[in-house]
Amino acid sequence: MTNVWEGVSVNREITSRIMKRLYYTSFSLWLLLSQHALSQSYKIAHCYGGCPIGGSVDNHLIIRPIYALSYNIVTKSADWVSYRVSTASIGIASSLSRTPLLDEYVSETLRVVDFLDADSLGFTRAQYVPLVDFAGTPYWNEVNYLTNTVARTSSLSQGAWYGLDWSIRNFVNRSGEVFVLAGPIFDATVGAKTLLTDNPHRVPDRFFKIIITEQGQTASFIMSQEAPVHLHHCEMQSSIAEIEALTQLDLFPLIPQSLEETAFEDLGCF
């Protein structure tokens, strides 16, 4: 059966997809509130144990069908990004677009032009939420928003960061689903890293990444931008307490007890 919509014959399946897309767009816009205000009323499914709190009140909280993030307009990086990876969400991304997208909700981001000379500094335009993890969903292109973008060294991107992402997907294929929480760490040092642009920002000195299983077991990592490409992610193990001390964030505000940090072996760290 077909429906006639403004003179165009559209089958029911395509109509359903269009309406679903419009719904999620409206839903994201409706939930684009300050982090403080939203934390009072809503539980966000992308976050395990509640979304992190403690960031700037000027941050933009953005919720999309495949992830949630809190964007810091001063550093021009998300303070945290949270998402859930499943066997159904993972897909083949070789033919999918990597073209960056302007965020319709946040204008104060790094621009594409800001990354033009990044390689001369050893940086590349990278993403917190990886494309492959959501290539099996209709929403894969949402990882290309500039609010999900960050400057990361090529050596880290091709080394420990890539290895950890691969290990996460491997674990998901064995176990079904995990939550991931990632973000930047800015050290209190002189000579903060920046790209060759007059757009005010700061490049992270390190990154954190926490993997949480459905059973509440975790594995935490801190990865330095200076890490050589051959350094394995298992050599960068950390703890939730250390990451919270460095970021001044309460990462799991709805969980009163400490989470078990026993998922390292599931990610190949013995």
Q: Is the dihedral of CA 103, 108, 111, 117 positive or negative?
A: negative
**How far is residue 115's CA from residue 111's CA, in Å, rounded to a whole number?**
7
Is 147 among the domain residues? yes
For residues 227 and 82, give the distance between their C-alpha atoms in angstroms, rounded to a whole number: 24
> So what's the pLDDT on residue 9?
33
* Residue 1 domain flag: no
pLDDT at 192: 86
Please report the pLDDT score of residue 189 as a whole number: 74
Which residue range(s) make up the domain with 174?
8-267
In this structure, is residue 221 part of a structural domain?
Answer: yes
Q: What pLDDT is recorded for position 43?
A: 81
Residue 89 lies in a domain: yes
Instruction: State both tokens at 124.
Output: 């590349």
pTM of the model: 0.85
Q: Which two tokens stand for residue 199?
A: 């757009």
| pLDDT values of the chain reduced to their tens digit, one per residue, 270 residues | 333 333 333 344 443 443 344 334 434 443 444 444 444 556 899 999 999 999 999 999 999 999 999 999 999 999 999 999 999 999 999 999 999 999 999 999 999 999 999 999 999 999 999 999 999 999 999 999 999 999 999 999 999 999 999 999 999 999 989 999 999 999 987 678 899 999 999 999 999 999 999 999 999 999 999 999 999 999 999 999 999 999 999 999 999 889 999 999 999 999
CA distance 266 to 223: 18
Q: What does DSSP assign to residue 199?
A: S
Distances (CA, A) of 158 to 90, 202, 228: 19, 22, 9
In a domain? residue 96: yes
* Domain membership flag for residue 133: yes
In a domain, 3, yes or no: no
Residue 69 lies in a domain: yes
Please report the pLDDT score of residue 155 as a whole number: 98
Task: Please tell me the total count of domains within the chain.
Answer: 1
Task: Quickly count: other Cβ atoms within 10 Å of residue 203's Cβ.
Answer: 22
pLDDT, residue 190, reads 64
CATH assignment of the domain containing 191: 3.40.570.10
